[in-house]
Amino acid sequence: MLTLIGISMAIGAFVALVGFSRSFEGEWMRLYSSSGTDIAVVEKNFLNSSVNQSLTDKLRAVPLVEQAAPMIFNLMDLTPEVNAIAFGWLDDTYEFNSLTFESGGRFHNNKPEVILGSLLAKNLNKKVGDTLNLQGSAFTVVGIFHGGTALEAGAVILPLDQMQQLTSMQGKVSGFHVRLRPAPAGESSEIYLKRAQAEIEAAVPGLNAQLASDRASNNQFVDLAHAVAWGTSAIALAMGILGIANTMAMSVFERTREIGILRAIGWKAGRVMLLIEVEAAVLGVAGGILGIGVGWGALQLLSLMPKTNVLVHTSLTPSHLAQSMVISLLSGLIAGAYPAWRGSHLSPVEALRHD
């Protein structure tokens, strides 16, 4: 039972952590697709890049570019319990088109105004007209929007100039979101996007024009989340595997005579090995099923916590579930390998003498 709990905790950690990081990645993906952004223009190596806002005009001059929106992106602790993704936008950016306002409306450039995602407004218990204190400055909540994604729903958006003041980035932005003109007839979207990337990078040397989908899945935040999730899960799984290995080794020791009987009546070493491996695999899979429940429960808890609910969706994808079950099965097989080998190589006579 303890082994079962051990492996279920390990698989639970895997399900929760990897689920968390994947939902984070998924939210990024939806963030870009819902806003209609085709390309993100950023510095090559940094997530929080800092580039001159004056490059906006150069980007807008590229023939394939329909819209180029300078923006700042950052993470902000609003209260000790609530953090949020903070965006700085111009008040005429096309990205407003993906937002649906539940109350109020857009902010205005050069004014201390903010709009809040509905989830963040709920976490902060704010409504239109309330004041929100950001780093000692008072901002009026002028709109509450229903974002297309959990990241947006948990975001705070300020006028770009206000954000530049808060972050001491006057004249600088994190990057640009670009919407392209429709591809000409006869040109595939793939080729068109590559052409657009090349033209943009030629217009703003030193910057990187990343496809929105690549930016969503390969940005440093997502990479870090994946790395932490997999690293922590690997440690938990290693502990789980050791637990199963210990249980199976004890089981083989306690059943030495039984194994001797099986060998004496003609069971081949391979069949004894298979028997022990199947038991270990069943233990692993049972732990995996329990662990998926534990992980799902953990994701539910994370979705209720103000510090994390903006980053997580509680749904588990079929591929994530399948991956969890395969890892459970493999954990059992790996853990059972040595006990199985040891059990199958017992001398029948020695095993039968075992007390």
Partner 1 sequence: MTENQAAPQLEVRSLRKSYDDGRIEALRGVDLSINAGDYVAISGASGSGKSTLLQLLGGLDIPTSGQVLFKGQTLDHIGLDDYRARQLGFIFQAFHLIPTLRAIENVQVPMLATGVDAATRSQRAETLLVEMGLQHRLKQFPNELSAGERQRVAIARALANNPSILLADEPTGNLDSVNSAHVMDLLRGIQKDRGMTLVVVTHENDIAHAAPRHIRIRDGRIEA
Instruction: State the residues that interact with partner 1 by CB under 8 A.
Output: 257-258, 260-269, 271, 347-349, 352
Rounded Cα gap, residues 192 and 207, in angstroms: 19
Which residues lie across from 159 on neighbouring strands? 89
Residue 284 CB, nearest distance to partner 1 (Å)?
21
- Closer CB to partner 1, residue 11 or residue 346? 346
Distance of CA 107 to the CA centre of its chain: 30
- Closer CB to partner 1, residue 190 or residue 350? 350
Q: Is 343 left (phi over 0), alpha (psi -120 to 50) or beta?
A: alpha
- Closer CB to partner 1, residue 150 or residue 259? 259
Which residues lie across from 242 on neighbouring strands? none
- Closer CB to partner 1, residue 130 or residue 258? 258
Nearest-5° Cα angle at 260, 255 to 265: 130
Q: If you search the block for the tokens 């932005």, which residue do you land on? A: 173
Residue 331 CB, nearest distance to partner 1 (Å)?
25
Residue 246 CB, nearest distance to partner 1 (Å)?
21
- Closer CB to partner 1, residue 108 or residue 353? 353
- Closer CB to partner 1, residue 202 or residue 349? 349
Residue 352 CB, nearest distance to partner 1 (Å)?
7
Residue 300 CB, nearest distance to partner 1 (Å)?
39
Residue 85 CB, nearest distance to partner 1 (Å)?
57
Rounded Cα gap, residues 309 and 39, in angstroms: 27
Residue 336 CB, nearest distance to partner 1 (Å)?
18
Q: If you search the block for the tokens 């591809």, which residue do you land on? A: 183
Residue ranges of alpha helices (H) inside the chain are 2-35, 55-60, 118-124, 150-153, 160-166, 189-203, 212-218, 220-254, 256-264, 269-304, 318-344, 348-353
Rounded Cα gap, residues 188 and 194, in angstroms: 10
- Closer CB to partner 1, residue 307 or residue 354? 354
Provide the 10 A C-beta neighbour count for residue 33.
16
CA-to-CA separations, 326 to 26, 256, 320, in angstroms, rounded: 22, 30, 10
